[in-house]
Structure 1
Amino acid sequence: MKLSTKVAELTTIIAPAVAACDVALWGIEFAPQGRRSLLRIYIESLPEDKAQDKQVTIEDCAAVNHQVSGVLEVHDPIAGEYILEVSSPGFDRMFFSDEQMQDYVGQTISLRLIQAIGQGDKKRRKVTGKLDSIDSETVQLTSVDGEQFEVALSNIDKANLVFEDA
């Protein structure tokens, strides 16, 4: 999962503003949509706050929105109009880096792949299963029907956690 050049630039500008609000930056989505683009920022509780079961609040989102709006006004990295959204990653959180997945070993994730994997008519570009392990180059998954997959990290287009109600 590689960040686009634009998202990497926005992350550099936005990360300090998010940190100033005492929350962590989970990830950024940027979708140019003609005259009006969408900038979505996901924030997470700081690790020490998570240990105390503190969650991201609406007030946290509002504070980050205010702080980031000011920074974007100064730096002006987005041409034209844009909509700014600030949110928690939610239960079905999208992963923005390989490192984020490491905390979710043993849980179910869904992957959309760049190139299909499998053999013959069993080729697929979407794989869902329990994350068995992750290393610097691959993830290993076991699907509900017991099928095992080894997927190169470089072949993952999009990954997210699958919420399972306990």
Structure 2
Amino acid sequence: MFATPSQMQPISSHNPAALQGVDREQLLAVIEPVARAHGAEVVDVELKNENGWVLRVFVERLGASAEKLSTKDAAVDLELCAGIARDLSPALDVDDPIPGRYNLEVSSPGIERPLKKEADYVRFAGEKAKLKLREAVGGQKVLVGRLGPVSAGKVAVDDGRKTYDVPLDDIVTARLVFEFGPAPKPGTSKGGSSKSAKKKRKP
């Protein structure tokens, strides 16, 4: 049985028990080999009800995490996303980790990439991020600031006035915040934009 929409949570290291009725490990066991076969790695997976269930798989270039690549250098193109969606759909049909009907979408996470595990905070140290917390820090449950070092299960976050040591276990969701820079030259664009491929699942 699916969880109700109000119970929908991303499948992530911040919420390992997410998605009642869906085995997270079984789902990732199907998705990750397909992504790797296309030269990509899974960033996040989520299932939401948006006038119908949608399974979204966010991917980036294989090795991006280990190599600590920027969002621009880790970005994948639409063709790769389409290839993953094409091969993932029949794989999901065979293993059937999600009951019921849903649409499949595969995309890059974009420049405001979610942060899901400790390695993400290490990788994007120095970048600006928005964190939603279980427990208030400095009177705030939403903290926007620049990421600092990670130590002893905590990440330093400087909001411009003070630096807070935030326990990773207290972070509900976190993502990078896009910062406007100099306008790109004509004919060029900023990298890291989100690209997606959609595949309608058969009943």
Q: Tell me the TM-score normalised to structure 1 length.
A: 0.85
Structure showing the higher strand proportion among its residues: 1
1:82 maps to 102
Partner residue in 2 for 1:2: 15
**Structure-1 separation of matches of 2:164 and 2:146:** 10
Q: Distance in 2 between matches of 1:64 and 1:96?
A: 21
Distance across 2 between alignment mates of 1:139 and 1:133: 6
Deviation string 1:65-116 (CA, Å, 9 cap, x unpaired) is 0111011000111111112111101000011222122110011111001122
Q: Does 1:41 align with 2:57?
A: yes
SS at the partner of 1:163? coil
Shift of 1:132: 1.2
The 8 Å contact of residues 36 and 80 in structure 1, kept in 2 or not, is answered as no
CA-based RMSD of the aligned residues comes to 2.3
1:149 aligns with 2:164: yes
- 2:30 matches 1:17: no
1:97 is the counterpart of 2:117:
yes
Distance 2:60 2:47 in 1: 18
Structure 1: segments with no counterpart, 5+ residues: none
Q: What is the alpha-carbon distance in structure 2 between the residues aligned to residue 28 and residue 68 of structure 1? A: 13
Equivalent residue pairs, number: 159
Using the size of structure 2 for normalisation, the TM-score is 0.71
Query: Does the 8 Å CA contact 1:27/1:41 hold for their aligned counterparts?
Result: yes
The alpha-carbon distance between structure 1 residues 124 and 8, as it changes in their structure 2 partners (threshold 3 A), is farther
1:58-137 paired onto structure 2 within 5 Å: 58-118=78-138, 123-137=139-153
Identity %: 29
